[in-house]
């Protein structure tokens, strides 16, 4: 067989098969300038790779670019279900969106008074911009929800089966669904950011995200933005896993709390994988960055000498 055929069988890139050949892990013959791999000469190694490939989900070509982020989102939602469902609901996989929402608000004692305290008074012009953004978010959300599913609040496997026929229509072009899901979230984030600060470059997505992270994320984490939404990576900060609900909830250690898809990570492993996926991205950046659930970064103060100035400013009550 050729390297292309082996790569297809074991679900890896062709470059990896060629690397195995160079490393001597696979025996091959060079015939007319092309590699020819004998299955009989590499039975054990190929069988092991095929076994490994079945622990990885198949990813359609149309969404390969989103596959890692899709997995992180899937792990986010699983942690959300574990943390804000009862032990019995988790055992039965009996999750509902409305119960998760109520439990999230109850556990963290979230109130309008606390949230209102974050935002300063605004003028009429700013108020109109925010209202328009909230409308855009709502309209885009309605568009994303069409065609309507048979069951909308249920999050169980039974609900997935009920919605299967509708999901086939909704995800005929999966990359477009991902894009259409982005815009409701973006306009809600931009509306919240405008409520906190005025923005000159309102049409630039990067400007809105940077404004959200630099000016709004920290106060929101004190009131509304709680675990697992507050998982983030920053080069000059250590993760506070010990303070998360993964450690506080006793039933997290049991097998029924493992992620339902291969490789069946525990709640602690899921947390670490999300954190690691954020930590990988900034290595190519010159300046330190923060990565959180939006996977977009905002600039922070540099490390070293600038970090000293930042700590001094924080001690004096000055926000940089």
Backbone angles phi, psi at 213, to 5 degrees: -75, -40
Which residue has tokens 């922070």?
Answer: 300
**Residue 288, pLDDT score:** 43
**Residue 82, pLDDT score:** 92
In Å, how far are 36, 220, 308 from 315, measured between CA atoms? 66, 20, 11
HEC readout, the chain: CCHHHHHHHHCCCHHHHHHHHHCCCCCEEEECCEEEECCHHHHHHHHHHHHHHCCCCCCCHHHHHHHHHHHHHHHHHHHHHHHCCCHHHHHHCCCEHHHHHHHHHHHCCCCHHHHHCCCCCCCHHHHHHHHHHHHHHHHHHHHHHCCCCCCCCECCHHHHHHCHHHHHHHCCCHHHHHHHHHHHHHHHHHHHHHHHCCCCCCCCHHHHHHHHHHHHHHHHHHHCCCCCCCCCECCCCCCCHHHCHHHHCHHHHCHHHCCCCCCCCCHHHHHHHHHHHHHHHHHHCCCCEEECCCCCCEECCCCCHHHHHHHHHHHCCCCC
**Residue 319, pLDDT score:** 41
**Residue 11, pLDDT score:** 74
**Residue 249, pLDDT score:** 84
Average confidence (pLDDT) per 10 residues, the chain, 320 residues = 84 85 88 84 83 63 69 88 91 90 92 86 85 91 80 81 74 70 87 80 77 84 86 72 73 87 83 83 50 42 37 44
**Residue 278, pLDDT score:** 80
**Residue 320, pLDDT score:** 38
**Residue 261, pLDDT score:** 79
Q: Name the CA radius of gyration of the chain, rounded.
A: 24
Tell me the whole-structure pTM to 2 decimals: 0.66
**Residue 307, pLDDT score:** 44
**Residue 62, pLDDT score:** 61
In angstroms, rounded to a whole number, what is the distance separating the alpha carbons of residues 10 and 58?
11
């Amino acid at each position: 067989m050729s390297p292309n055929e082996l790569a297809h069988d074991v679900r890896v890139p062709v470059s990896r098969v060629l690397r195995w050949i160079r490393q001597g892990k696979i025996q091959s013959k060079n015939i007319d300038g092309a590699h020819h791999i004998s299955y009989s000469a590499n039975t054990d190694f190929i069988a092991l790779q095929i076994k490994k490939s079945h622990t990885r989900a198949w990813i359609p070509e149309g969404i390969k670019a989103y596959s890692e982020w899709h997995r992180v989102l899937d792990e986010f939602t699983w942690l959300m279900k574990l943390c804000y469902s009862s032990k019995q609901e988790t055992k039965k996989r009996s999750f509902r969106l409305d119960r998760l929402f109520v439990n999230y608000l109850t556990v963290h004692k979230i109130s309008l008074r606390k949230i209102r305290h974050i935002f300063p008074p605004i003028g009429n012009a700013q108020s109109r911009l925010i209202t328009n953004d909230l409308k855009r978010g709502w309209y885009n959300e309605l568009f994303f929800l069409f065609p309507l599913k048979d069951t909308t609040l249920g999050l169980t496997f039974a609900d997935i089966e009920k919605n299967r026929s509708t999901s086939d229509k909704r995800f005929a072009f999966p990359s477009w669904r991902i894009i259409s899901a982005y815009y409701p979230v973006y306009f809600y984030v931009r509306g919240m950011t405008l409520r906190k600060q005025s923005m000159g470059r309102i049409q630039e997505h990067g400007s809105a995200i940077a404004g959200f992270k630099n000016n709004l994320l920290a106060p929101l984490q004190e009131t509304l933005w709680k675990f697992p939404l507050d998982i983030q990576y920053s080069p000059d900060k250590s993760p506070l896993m010990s303070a998360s609900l993964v450690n506080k909830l006793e039933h997290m250690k049991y097998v029924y709390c493992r992620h339902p898809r291969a490789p069946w990570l525990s709640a602690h492993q899921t947390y670490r994988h999300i954190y690691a996926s954020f930590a990988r991205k900034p290595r190519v950046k010159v300046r330190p960055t923060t990565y959180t659930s939006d996977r977009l970064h905002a600039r922070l103060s540099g490390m070293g000498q600038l970090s000293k100035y930042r700590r001094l400013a924080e001690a004096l009550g000055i926000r940089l």
